[in-house]
Amino acid sequence: ELEAVLAQIMAFAPKTNKINLRKVLVESVDTLAWLSEYQDLALTTRPPDKFRYYSPYFEDTVLLEERLWQFIKLRCTYVLKEAEPLAIEFSPAGEVKGMEIATSKGVIKVTARSVILAAGGFSGNKDYLAEYYPKAARLDCSFRTGGTKGIVLDLVKDIEADIIKAQRIYFVPVLFPAQKLIDKSQYPDLMKGIWLDRHGEDITESALEVLRAGSEKDVTDWFLNRAGQPFYLLFPGNREAALPGLVPVFSLTQLSSQTDIPAEILVKALAGGPPPYYLGTLELQPLYNMGGLAADEQGRILKHGAAIPGLYGAGETVGWLHGETIFPGLPLTEGLVMGRIAGREAACFAGK
C-alpha cells in the first residue's frame, strides 16, 4: 500500500519532494523489518505523562543508543566516539579524502574516501538565534540552549554546504520554576489562571483568545510579538486549579516582591481573591530547530545544489525531513532510516 500512502501525503502536502518522500517511506519499512530481526533492540515506552512534551517516550534512550552502537561497531571499519570533527579534507577533484579530528589525545588525521556527519545539527543558543532568527534572539533561552546540533555548524560553513530551513525554530512555552514544557494538552489548564505581563497589566483576555485558537504557531507569534515577556501566571487561592510546580505565595506583599509589580496593581488584577496565590512564570523557549544540511535521497550532502562526493549526512544533521513542526518518532527516521541510507551509500562510494 506504499503508493496509496504516498499519494495521500502528496495530496495533503503537494510541495513535498516526492522522490525523497518515496525513499524515506521505502527505507522506513525496510528499517522496521531490519529492527524486528534483533529482539534485544526492541523499543519500549514510558507511561504517558501530561507534563512531558514527548509521549510515548523511549524508556532508556542511552541504553538503546549503546545497543545500536555495539551492533554497528561490529560491522564498521572505523568508528569515533567523543571526538569533534575540525575539518574535512578534499582532493583537487573535490572528493573527500579524510578528516581532521580533535580527541582527548589531541588532533589526529583520518584518511577516508567517505564520511558521514551524524552528530546533531544546530542548537538553540543565542549566537545561532541571532544569525538565523533575529526576532527571537532577545529571549532568555535559559531552558534548553544546548543539544548536539551546534557541533558541525563551523564545519558546515568551512565546506560551504547548503543549509536549509535554518530559520524554522520550534518554540514552546515553559513554566518556571518547575521547568515544565507546555504543549497543547495543557492549554485548558492555562485558561484557568490570571495572566499578567511584567508591568502588571492583565492580559488574560488576550491570552485566552490565542489559546482557544489552539494553533501552536499562533501562540508562538503572540509571545514573540508582545514586549512584556516573560508572563506571570496566577491562580488565586485555588490549589485544585493550579498547575503542578507553581509556587504558593501567602501574602500580597510577598507576591509584589517576587514579581516587582506594585501591590495596588495586583489587588486590581486579583479582584480581592484571598491568599495563598499560586505563582509561575511563563517564558517562550526554543525547543528545536528544523534546519540542517541539504541532502539528496541518497544522503549525500549538497553544495550549491550538487552532491559533495564522499560526504553524507544522517541524524539531525539532515534538514529536509522537517516541515513546520516536529513529531514523535522523527528522530528514528533521522537516525536509523537516514543512517542506514547514508551508511550503505557511503560504503558503496568508498568501495568503488
Is 99 buried (19+), middle (13-18) or exposed (0-12) by CB count in 10 A? buried
Average pLDDT over residues 191-211: 87
Tell me what pLDDT residue 122 has.
Answer: 44
Tell me what pLDDT residue 140 has.
Answer: 57
Tell me what pLDDT residue 261 has.
Answer: 92
Mean pLDDT of the chain: 75
Q: For residue range 230-271, what is the model confidence (pLDDT) as tens digits?
A: 789 888 876 556 677 788 899 999 999 999 999 989 988 887
Predicted confidence (pLDDT) at residue 208 exceeds the cutoff of 90? no
Tell me what pLDDT residue 93 has.
Answer: 92
Tell me what pLDDT residue 164 has.
Answer: 81
Which residue ranges form the domains of the chain, and what is each CATH number? 2-169+288-351 (3.50.50.60), 171-286 (3.90.700.10)
Tell me what pLDDT residue 223 has.
Answer: 81
pLDDT band, residue 291 (cuts 50/70/90) = confident
Tell me what pLDDT residue 311 has.
Answer: 94
Tell me what pLDDT residue 230 has.
Answer: 76
Higher pLDDT, 31 or 25: 25
Q: For residue range 158-172, what is the model confidence (pLDDT) as tens digits?
A: 788 888 877 777 777
pLDDT band, residue 54 (cuts 50/70/90) = very low
**What are 296's three cell numbers?**
539528496
Tell me what pLDDT residue 55 has.
Answer: 33
Predicted confidence (pLDDT) at residue 61 exceeds the cutoff of 50? no
Rounded (5°) CA angle 146-149-155: 125
Tell me what pLDDT residue 138 has.
Answer: 57
Tell me what pLDDT residue 286 has.
Answer: 72
Looking at the DSSP bridge assignments, the partners of residue 235 are: 278
pLDDT band, residue 69 (cuts 50/70/90) = low
Average pLDDT over residues 299-312: 94
Predicted confidence (pLDDT) at residue 52 exceeds the cutoff of 70? no
Tell me what pLDDT residue 42 has.
Answer: 46
Q: Give pTM, 2 decimals.
A: 0.68
Q: For residue range 306-337, what is the model confidence (pLDDT) as tens digits?
A: 999 999 988 777 777 776 666 656 767 777 78
Query: What is the chain's alpha carbon radius of gyration, rounded to the nearest angstrom?
Result: 24
Q: Which spans in the chain are helix H? A: 2-12, 18-36, 61-73, 126-132, 153-159, 187-190, 204-213, 216-225, 252-259, 263-270, 330-332, 338-351
Higher pLDDT, 157 or 58: 157
Identify the residue whose cell numbers are 496566577.
234
pLDDT band, residue 126 (cuts 50/70/90) = low
Closest CA to 150 of 68, 84, 196: 84
Tell me what pLDDT residue 92 has.
Answer: 94
Tell me what pLDDT residue 85 has.
Answer: 75
Predicted confidence (pLDDT) at residue 128 exceeds the cutoff of 70? no
The amino acid at 235: F
pLDDT band, residue 137 (cuts 50/70/90) = low
- The DSSP 8-state label assigned to residue 336 in this structure reads I
> pLDDT exceeding 70 applies to what percent of the chain?
69
Task: Please measure the distance between the N-terminal and C-terminal CA atoms of the chain and give it in whole angstroms.
Answer: 35
Predicted confidence (pLDDT) at residue 49 exceeds the cutoff of 50? no
Predicted confidence (pLDDT) at residue 83 exceeds the cutoff of 90? no
